[in-house]
Amino acid sequence: MALMDDLGKSLEQSAGGSVILTSLDAVLDFTRGHSLWSQPMGTACCAMELIAASFSKFDFDRHGVFPRADPRTVDVMIVAGTITRKMAPAVLRVWEQMAEPRWCIAMGNCAVSGGIFYHDTYSVMPGVDSFLPVDVYIAGCPPRPEALQDAVLQLRAKISNQSIVAGRTYHHKLLLPMPTKGVAVRGTGGESS
């Protein structure tokens, strides 16, 4: 990414570079938006709809979205399901393993805000955006695969406005994760994915 950032910066500073920059942005945004490989971070009920989405009835591969197990090659993490305090470090770890540029879709009420498990519980995170930058939220408990399809198209529209220049790229400021009681959250999660 550093290479792309430098390229973007030097293009922006040079005379006439912005013409090249905008066309480069257009090409890259278009290809990135149309080739969103997903990391299925399915933890609970929504994972069923996430599986259904890539199978015969809905077939997300038509749009170039297909699930990959290894986080290094994927572009979008689809967090589907409740994230508990025990799971949060592992989700964060997988997110950190993903290569830039990366995006995140929060699928279902639990991932959006904690949903039905928001109140009265001692172990559920109130939404995955308390420790991850989320691009698209899908409501529903669980959302239908069509809703996920719409989210992918929304994300595509969002990507089409991004630039490779560092100042304007999609750099997230990571919020600190909520600690489990007593001990800091990092470093206790799962190895690799």
Partner 1 sequence: MPLEPGASTVPVNEDGSAVRETVVNLGPSHPSTHGVCRVIAHLDGEIVTRAELVIGYLHRGIEKMAEHRTYLQIMPLTDRLDYVGSMYANWAYCQAVEDLAGIVVPERAEYLRIITCELQRIASHMMSVGSTGNDAGATTLFVYAFWVREQVLTLFERLCGSRLTYNYVRPGGVSFDTPDDAWIDEVRAFCKAALPRFNEIDRLFFGNVITKGRTKGVGVLSAEDAINASVTGPSLRASGVDFDLRRDEPYSLYDRFSFNVVVGENGDVFDRARCRLLECYESVRLIQLALDQMEPGRVKAEAVSRLIAPPVGETYKTLESARGTLGVFLASDGGVRPWRMKVRSPAFSNLGIVGPLCKGYTISDLIMILGSFDPVFGEVDR
Partner 2 sequence: MTAFWQGAAYGLGAGIIVGVGTIFGVWGERKVAGRIQKRYGPNTAPVFGIVQLVYDLVKLLTKEDIHPTQAKRGIFNIAPLFLTTPIIASLVVIPFAAGWAPLDSSIGILFFLAVPSISVLGVLLAGWSQGNTYASLGGLRGAAQMVSYEVPRSLAVLSVVMLAGTLQPTRFVSEWRIWWLPLTFIAFVVYFIASIAELNRGPFDLAECDSELVGGYFTDYSGIRWAMFMMSEYGGLVATTLFGSVIFLGAGWPFTGALGVLVLILKTVLLVVLFMWAKWTFPRMRPDQLMSTAWKVLTPMALVQILIIGLVIPWL
Partner 3 sequence: MKAEELSSRLLGYWPELSDLCSIEKNRMLIKVRSETVHATISKLKELGFNQFEMVTAVDRGADLEIIYVLHSIPMKASVWVRTHVPRDAAEVASMADLYTGADWPEREVYDLFGIDFIDHPDMRRIMMPFDFVGAPLRKDYVDENIIPRPDYI
Q: Which of residues 34-93 bind partner 2 (CB under 8 A)?
A: 34-35, 55-56, 59, 61-64, 66, 68-70, 72-73, 75
Instruction: Establish if 186 lies at the interface with partner 2 (CB under 8 A).
Output: no
Instruction: Fill in the DSSP letter of residue 64.
Output: T
Instruction: Establish if 13 lies at the interface with partner 2 (CB under 8 A).
Output: no
Shortest distance (Å) from residue 1 CB to partner 2: 4
Q: Please give the Cα distance from 163 to 24 (Å, whole number).
A: 9
> Which of these, 150, 152, 147, lies nearest to 32 by C-alpha position?
152
Q: How far, in whole angstroms, is CA 165 from its chain's centroid?
A: 20
Residue 142 tokens, joined: 């669980």
For residue 34, give Cα distances in angstroms to 27, 37, 72, 138, 147.
11, 9, 18, 20, 18
Q: Which of residues 88-107 bind partner 1 (CB under 8 A)?
A: 90-91, 94
Instruction: Establish if 166 lies at the interface with partner 1 (CB under 8 A).
Output: no
Alpha-carbon torsion (76, 77, 81, 82), positive or negative? negative
Instruction: Give the binding-site size for partner 2 (rule: CB under 8 A).
Output: 30
Q: Which residues bind partner 2 (CB under 8 A)?
A: 1, 4, 27-28, 30-32, 34-35, 55-56, 59, 61-64, 66, 68-70, 72-73, 75, 97, 99-101, 191-193
Interface contacts to partner 1, rule CB under 8 A: 41-45, 47-49, 51-52, 55-57, 69, 81-82, 84, 86-87, 90-91, 94, 116-117, 119-124, 141-142, 144, 187-193
